[in-house]
Structure 1
Amino acid sequence: MPASSLSCIAQFIDTITDRLGRAIIWLTLVMVLLTFLIVLLRYGFNIGFIAMQESVLYLHGIVIMLGAAFALKEDAHVRVDIFYQKFSQKQQALVNALGIIFLLLPVCLFFFYISLDYVLASWRVLEKSSEAGGLPFVYLNKTLLLLLPLTLFLQGISELCKSVLSYQVATGENG
């Protein structure tokens, strides 16, 4: 595939991931403020709202599950790079590509596959909170189990494209 095509694919996916990540950053602030409000109401005024507490759990799920692709894009994920940091650009590109092909993408596909029936069952009954006064959107929260592997898979494709481009640059290929 020509380098310009790989670059366009990576840039398109990165734009989507970046916009999603920037929105999630703001959701993190909302989650912190909401948590402060819950604590203030509970311990300052002895008032509690189950729906408000559950909304923090939902926000937490969104931040973690949808933020994973953004962390991958920003190279903010955990990497044990005892050897990697000493590798050449070509070796790093090869390790990244192989890791994406043989680890990240298959795990994303597997996770999506094993979660699909669980999420669809929740959607079929429009699952609600079992708590009185809880949120009636459990099925939406469970959908994050499908969005995590989907967004990670897409970002993995972007990272694979960038690894191939990096490998081409390191080897002097002009694809």
Structure 2
Amino acid sequence: MNRTADRLDMVNRLVGSIVRWAALIMVLTQFAIVLLRYVFSISFVAVNESVLYLHSALFMLGAGYTLLVDGHVRVDIFYAKANARWQAAIDLFGHVFLLIPSMSLLLYWSWPSVRNAWAILEGPISVGGIPASFLLKSLIPAFCVLLLIQSLACLMRNIARLQERQS
């Protein structure tokens, strides 16, 4: 089971290693926007929108990697003081009853909007912006799928951890 979880982890490790560059590109783009606007009095809507696209990609595609490295916010009222078995049980509950159902519902309810955006190749958010809103909307199902993949990997590890303690 751990070997399968490791294979699932590889998906988010790969995506995380690529998406992390969005942070640097986003900062450099924002710096260029400020420089162009306040030094040269030039502004481009598409360049401004690119920061929104990069920010969205960074957080939506990086969520699975963040779960992989246990970087999400956790309420540690009970969890911090619990032993490894209880932590695994709490994580198992969270994945089965909270994360997997919510990501499945979000995927289900967002899919028609994403499909329609692709069908018409939905254009820019603003006049003169990036003519690819359909790509921005596609981040929603990608977010859901990456979190579901990572949740399955975490679920397998928690089940294995619970089985280890019982034997």
The count of corresponding residues between Structure 1 and Structure 2 is: 167
1:89 equivalent in structure 2: 84
1:142 aligns with 2:113: no
1:3 alignment counterpart: none
Could you say which residue in structure 1 is the equivalent of 2:75? 80
Contact 2:36-2:42 within 8 A present in 1 as well? yes
The TM-score normalised by the length of structure 2 is 0.96
What's the CA shift string for 1:47-95, capped at 9, x where partnerless?
1111111111100000111111111111100100111111111111111
CA contact (8 A) 1:126 1:139 kept: yes
Unaligned runs of 5+ in 1: 1-5
Aligned residues of 2:125 and 2:133 also touching (Cα < 8 A): no
Q: Counterparts of 2:23 and 2:121 in 1: how far apart (Å)? A: 26
Q: Output the aligned Cα RMSD.
A: 1.0
Looking at structure 1, the residues matched to 36 and 97 of structure 2 have their Cα atoms a distance apart, in angstroms, of 49
**Offset at residue 130 of structure 1 (A):** 4.5
Local SS of the residue matching 2:4: helix
> 17, 21, 24: which is aligned to 2:19?
24
Runs in 1 of length 4+ with deviation above 3 angstroms?
none
After the TM superposition, which residues 4-153 of structure 1 pair with which residues of structure 2 at under 5 Å, given as runs? 6-153=1-148
Cα distance in 2 for partners of 1:17, 1:137 equals: 24
TM-score by length of 1: 0.92
Distance 2:125 2:60 in 1: 22
